[in-house]
Amino acid sequence: MTSAVLQVSDLRVTYYTDSGRTKAVDGVNLTLYAGERLGLVGESGCGKSTMALSLMRMIKPPGRIESGSAIVGDENDNIDMLKLNEEEMLQARLSRIAYIPQGAMNSLNPVMRIGTQMMDAIQAHIPRATKTEMKERAEASLESVELKRSVFNMYPHELSGGMKQRVCIAIGILLSPKVIIADEPTSALDVVVQRQVMETICKVQEKIGAAVILIGHDMGLMCQITNRVAVMYAGKLVELSTVREMFTDPMHPYAKALIASLPNLENKGVFQGIPGLAPSLLKLPSGCVFHPRCQYAMDVCKTTTPEQAVTSSGRYVYCHLYGKAGQPLPGTPLTKSEATNY
């Protein structure tokens, strides 16, 4: 079996605001395997980017990582990212875990050449490297994302949006990290460039043998690119399945609603949304956080937080409709014929 390169356990991130305490990430558990591409999906504000930033230890006040662990590496060489001091964390970024930001336009220093920014990153981790060695490594990284070596001497304003995003990918793979987090890397690009950027991420991932967490809203893209899909809602990871299981037989009602909202050729011109609005993280509902919007909601959903149900294939879901082995419980709305489709 492929070894795990990232194990997240009981991760909790809270923002302390004037209006109150906000649980942005609430008890997330996740395992990522070598060479895997995991899609992380959910509505805006559900905690996807906060989870990514917490793994990078880039949460800023008033945010705080309350508890949990994030172990990067295999059984012979691993570290808990949440227990490192600042100096150790600086060394771990890029070398063990890398982050490709959502807005490449705002991530590059506009007054520094691309090569200078890349060499700064290398020098921070390999201080004894010569300028020639650093330049060669940087140019090779640019070539691996299908950019010319001449980009090394250019400024960000001389590049297109797609080229800037590729530069961010090139910086992310400079030191061959074990885990790459791509936070909506194609959100500001047209559909043609989106495809090119995603193909670039997949290609470099396979080249360096890293695992990728792809954060986004585009379920169609997730279907084509990822191996497994994790669904977040109101700071909680509510379902984790293989991409085939997710799109053919989603388990959690929220996952069902996401899949049902996708347009299809059979029902042209018919669009189906999810009723209601995502709750404020300052005032979460009791019990299951999705129950006010769920058509399968039962009385127990309003008072009791669901426990994890794990199927024999390893997928898991947090929902009162299922037993601990992941089978639909008899007598629940899910087993009634009138509720088979969302």
pLDDT beyond 60 at 1:
no
The predicted structure's pLDDT at residue 265: 67
4-231 has CATH 3.40.50.300 classification: yes
More confident position, 332 or 10: 10
Average pLDDT (259-283) is 79
pLDDT tens digits, residue range 44-95? Answer: 889 999 999 999 999 999 999 999 999 999 888 899 999 999 999 999 999 9
**pLDDT above 70: residue 269:** no
| φ, ψ for residue 192, nearest 5 deg | -70, -45
Q: Which of the four pLDDT bands, split at 50, 70 and 90, describes residue 341?
A: very low
- Mean residue pLDDT of the chain comes to 89
Residue 267 CA, chain-centre distance (Å), reads: 30
The residues, any chain, with a CB within 8 Å of residue 3's CB and separated by 6 or more, are 33, 34, 74, 75
pTM for the model stands at 0.91
Strands 4-17 and 63-74: what pairing? antiparallel
Omega of the bond leading into 127 within 30 degrees of 0 (cis):
no
Break the chain into its structural domains and give their ranges: 4-231, 249-339
Report the pLDDT averaged over residues 231-250. 94
Beta bridge partners of 26: 12
Kind of pairing between the strands at 37-41 and 97-100? unpaired
Looking at beta carbons, which pairs linking 301-310 to residues 24 or more positions away fall under 8 Å? Answer: 308/29
Q: What are 96's two structure tokens?
A: 């063990």
At 176 the pLDDT is 93
292-301 contacts at long range (C-beta below 8 A, 24 or more positions apart): 293/254, 293/257, 294/253, 294/254, 295/253, 295/333, 295/339, 295/342, 296/253, 296/321, 296/332, 296/333, 296/334, 296/339, 298/332, 298/333
End-to-end CA distance of the chain: 36
pLDDT (average), residues 302-306: 94
pLDDT in tens, 175-202: 999 999 999 888 777 888 888 888 999 9
Q: What is the pLDDT of residue 338?
A: 38
For Cα atoms 333, 335, 337, give the angle at the middle one, nearest 5 degrees. 90
The highest-confidence range among 149-158, 220-229, 257-266, 304-313, by mean pLDDT, is 149-158
Average pLDDT estimate for 2-15: 93
